[in-house]
A and B are shown apart, each in its own frame.
Chain A
Amino acid sequence: MTGLPIQYGMGLAALLFIAGLTGLVVRRNALFVLMCLEIMLNSTGLAFIVAGARWQAPDGQSMFILIIALAAAEAAIGLGLLLQLYKRFRTIDIDAASEMHG
């Protein structure tokens, strides 16, 4: 395979993951929250691919297929929730749905 060191791939995955996480924590718009979740899922997918390429194992690719399926399901449910959120609260600010006031 190519001589790209595993540190590069893993570093990219970690950067993507932290970017997604930061977005998840910082953004209040539900649409962006969903997108950040997608980024985080894909960053983990990338980590699996890189690891699979490094050790010449098919496990990484099969895990990636699993993650894509999961991400598709998650996107469908997340968008459904988003629509409901908008219907109930007339906004897609996720903090508006917090009624626990703990």
Chain B
Amino acid sequence: MSLLVLTLIFPLAGAIALSLFPRMPDNTARTIGAGSVGLAALVTAIVMVFWGANGGYPYIQTLWQWIAVGDFDINFSLYLDGLSITMMGVITGVGFLIHFFAAWYMVHDLEGDPGMARFFAYMNLFIVAMLLLVLGDNLLLLYLGWEGVGLCSYLLIGYYYKTPANAWAAYKAFVVTRIGDVFLAIGLFLLYTVFGTLNIQTLLHEAPQVWNQGGVMVNVAAVLLLLGACGKSAQLPLQTWLADAMAGPTPVSALIHAATMVTAGVYLIARTHGIFELAPAIQELVGVVGGLTLLIAGLAATAQTDIKRVIAYSTMSQIGYMFLALGVGAWQAAIFHLMIHAFFKSLLFLTAGSVIIACHHEQNIFKMGGLRKTLPLDYWLMVIGGAALAALPLVTAGFYSKDAILWEAVANGHGVLWLFGLVGAFITSIYTFRMIFIVFHGEQKIHAEAGRGIPHHLPLIVLGVLSTFIGALIGQPLDGVLPSGAVEDYPWIEIIFEVISSVVVLVGLGVAAALFLGKRQLITQATEGGPGRKTWLFFNSALGFDWLYDKGFVQPFLWVARGHRHDWIEAIVNVVPGLASIGNSGLSAVQDGRVRWYAMVMFAGTAVLLAVLMFG
């Protein structure tokens, strides 16, 4: 069990080695980068076995005392329970598969340019930070990991920093998530002021004794935590950064912006579920945020032309489902969907990466078309992943996780949220198969070369298998950590609702086939001009949130900043550097190297001193 810390040490050692020797050969960098995460995954498996054999009790490993100032006492200790071990499995397991794939992908993406070691150094550092986030036993350690993953996300979005657009995308992601982080930090201050500790288990234990159900303070604390989670998980109102984050290499999108980091918000809310249960109104708000985001992101995904942006919006939408699940009290279903989503979404991203490389860095789906015959493996994997995303009944993993959420929403009396989820499922089905039909069916418009080799095939196939119903068989030891939320009293009604959502998904598939298979005349005519075109543009810009924020926040801020560039405070403040500047030029004129002048000044000074002494 004390092996637990090794899961942090291996990737950390990898990151340090890779950053100390950035000029190492590419093959060495790939081996270290993928190998360190592989070792971490192995250790995680061992820890899982031991932990299960010991009866699955929470295990705390205290490494050292981190901060001790007066009463403020923070330990650097890791907390292992059913929730964190599930997250660890996802992070190291899926993380290793993505690193393994990246070893293939980056060779083709860099095409001989330097930067392999830099890429894997950032990726390994990300794994360390993400593990810290889920393993920290106090909120400050969680916050350290939280900021660490934000930093790695920034570095990796801007990985190709020579293109200014990528740097701006990284900047945007950093700033928008930072807004959420500030709220989270304020939330931590609030919790510490009230409880005098940041230890999560103590907090959850003491919260019901200190706070009344639905009190003001607990509502404020829950809202602050929710806003922090919204920033990291790209939920309304802080959702605008995720689509631009696709500027990073595709394995980054798979690892950070699909499987792990963006689900940190879900983890945070699940981890602090006790506080949200004391604030039912805010918990309801979590569900509403999720429901709205899943609809907005779903609509945006129907009008994208970039294959990665389609998948990015689908990620936002799926995390919306997780928030919806948290909001209706389906805690375990949320984490279950988190794991399944990590499988199929990283599959979709990696397959998209494979397609992009095969098409020589082409990302526009309308320039691809008909790749079914040249890329059969990618086609079938994309179908498996897409089916899991759309939750096709019975055979896919997504069906089991998503329907658990929808059923528990309706069973816990949240009919409106259930309707949101159902409409979202319909849209999901449309945009997923729209993408598949446009990319892989119709006439072929581009020359493509299929990827080869074990690092290309193996991660894709493993993730493909996990995206089918086999992935849904993986149990999660969440009992005792999170309330189940499951309602099993009405099995017949549950089946009726499952049939309803299955029918909706299949109808969505039919609509997508009718619109996007064949010559696509109907949809082309509808979006060519007039209101159809406007709707398309509206959806394409993700319902205009970027425009709204630009007009509402960015422009006013810049206007105020411009207005205050030459105000009277500035004038007063500028006196200090002005005086310093005058003094500088005066003194430097004196030090001109003319020794006779020095002598003169020295004697004049002495004379003045003497005069003062004699007559003063």
Q: Give the B-binding residues of A (Cβ under 8 A).
A: 21, 24-26, 28, 33, 94-95, 98-102
Is A25 a contact of B600 with CB atoms below 8 Å? yes
CA distance A21 to B595 in the complex (A): 13
**Complex interface: chain A residues within 8 A of B590 (CB):** 102
Q: Is the CB of A98 within 8 A of B603?
A: no
CB neighbors of A among B593-611 (8 A): 593-596, 599-600, 603
B596 touches A95 (CB 8 A): yes
Nearest Cβ on chain A to B451's Cβ, whole angstroms: 66
B581 to chain A, nearest CB (A): 16
Give residues 568-613 of B contacting A (CB, 8 Å): 588-596, 599-600, 603
**Contact sample, A vs B, 15 pairs, CB 8 Å cutoff:** A21-B603, A24-B596, A24-B599, A25-B596, A94-B595, A94-B596, A98-B592, A98-B593, A100-B591, A100-B592, A101-B592, A102-B588, A102-B590, A102-B591, A102-B593
B residues contacting A by CB (< 8 A) are 588-596, 599-600, 603
In the complex, the answer to whether B596 meets A102 with C-beta atoms within 8 Å is no
Interface centre among A94, A100, A102 (most CB of B within 10 A): A102
Q: Which residues from B are CB-within-8-Å of A33?
A: 596
Q: Which residues from A are CB-within-8-Å of B593?
A: 98-102
Complex contact A102–B599 (CB within 8 A): no
Q: Are A98 and B595 in contact (CB under 8 A)?
A: yes
Residue of B nearest to A95 (CB): B594
Most A CB atoms within 10 A — which of B590, B595, B596? B596
Chain A residues with CB below 8 A from B588, complex form: 102
Contacts A21-B599, A94-B595, A100-B593 known; list 19 others, CB within 8 Å.
A21-B603, A24-B596, A24-B599, A25-B596, A25-B599, A33-B596, A94-B596, A98-B592, A98-B594, A98-B595, A100-B591, A100-B592, A101-B592, A101-B593, A102-B588, A102-B589, A102-B591, A102-B592, A102-B593
A59 to chain B, nearest CB (A): 21
A24: chain B residues at CB < 8 Å are 596, 599
- Considering the chains assembled together, what is the distance between the CA atoms of A25 and B597 in angstroms? 7
Tell me the bound Cα distance from A99 to B591 in angstroms.
Answer: 11
Q: Which residue of A is nearest B590, CB measured? A: A102
> Could you tell me the distance between the alpha carbons of A22 and B593 in the complex, rounded to whole angstroms?
19
Closest B residue to A33 by beta carbon equals B596
What is the bound-complex CA distance between A94 and B96, given in angstroms?
74
Q: How far is the CB of B595 from chain A (nearest CB, A)?
A: 6
Q: Which residues of A have CB within 8 Å of B600?
A: 25
Nearest chain B residue, comparing its CB with the CB of A102: B592
- Min Cβ gap A42→B in Å is 17
Q: Closest A-chain residue to B595, C-beta based?
A: A94
- List chain A residues, Cβ under 8 A from B603: 21
Nearest B residue to A18 by beta-carbon distance? B603
Q: Which residue on B lies nearest to A27, using beta carbons?
A: B596
Q: What separation, in Å, do the CA atoms of A102 and B599 have in the docked complex?
A: 16
* Complex Cα gap A56–B105 (Å): 100
Name the residue of chain A whose CB is nearest to the CB of B589: A102
**Residues of A close to B589: CB separation below 8 A:** 102
Q: Which residue of chain B lies nearest to A98 when distances are taken between CB atoms in the complex?
A: B593
Cα A24 to Cα B590 in complex, Å, equals 19
Tell me which residues across on chain A come within 8 A of B595, comparing CB atoms.
94, 98
* Distance to closest chain B CB from A31 (angstroms): 14
The answer on a CB contact under 8 Å between A28 and B592 is: no
A16 → chain B closest CB, angstroms = 15
Per the bound structure, the CA–CA distance linking A25 and B594 in Å amounts to: 10
Q: How far is the CA of A42 from the CA of B592 in the complex (A)?
A: 30
Q: How far is the CA of A21 from the CA of B603 in the complex (A)?
A: 9
* Distance of A94 Cα from B593 Cα, bound (Å): 10
Closest chain B residue, CB of each to CB of A37: B599
**What is the bound-complex CA distance between A28 and B595, given in angstroms?**
10
Q: CA A99 – CA B594 in complex, angstroms?
A: 9
A102–B600 Cα distance when bound, in Å, is 17
Q: Enumerate chain B residues within 8 angstroms of A21, measured Cβ to Cβ.
A: 599, 603
A100 cross-chain contacts in B, Cβ below 8 A: 591-593
- Within the complex, the shortest CB–CB distance from A82 to chain B, in Å, comes to 13
Residues on A with C-beta less than 8 A from B599 are 21, 24-25
CA distance A21 to B598 in the complex (A): 12
Q: In this complex, what residue of B is CB-closest to A101?
A: B592
Chain A residue at smallest Cβ distance from B593: A100
The 10 closest A-B pairs by CB, nearest first: A100-B593, A102-B592, A98-B593, A102-B591, A25-B600, A102-B588, A98-B594, A25-B596, A24-B599, A100-B592
- Min Cβ gap A18→B in Å is 10
Which residue on A lies nearest to B587, using beta carbons? Answer: A102
Closest Cβ of chain A: how far from B605's Cβ, in Å?
13
Cβ–Cβ < 8 Å partners of A102 in chain B: 588-593
Q: Which residue of B lies closest to A21 (CB)?
A: B603
For the complex, give the distance between the alpha carbons of A95 and B593 in Å: 8
**A21 vs B591: C-alpha distance when bound (angstroms):** 21
Residues of B within 8 A of A28 (CB): 596
Tell me the minimal C-beta distance from B598 to chain A in angstroms.
10
Residues of A within 8 A of B592 (CB): 98, 100-102
Task: Report the bound CA distance from A25 to B607 in whole Å.
Answer: 15
B591: chain A residues at CB < 8 Å are 100, 102
B176 to chain A, nearest CB (A): 51
A98–B590 alpha-carbon span in the complex (Å) = 13
Q: Which B residues are in CB contact (< 8 Å) with A26?
A: 596
Closest to A26 in B: B596
| Complex-state Cα separation, A102 to B586, whole angstroms | 10
| Nearest CB of B to A36, in Å | 10
In the assembled complex, the CB of B610 is this many whole angstroms from the nearest CB of chain A, namely 12
CA distance A100 to B589 in the complex (A): 10
Minimum Cβ distance to chain A for residue B611 (Å): 14
Candidate in A21, A33, A94, A98 with the most chain B CB atoms within 10 angstroms = A98
Residue in chain A with minimal CB distance to B597:
A25
Interface centre among A21, A25, A94 (most CB of B within 10 A): A25
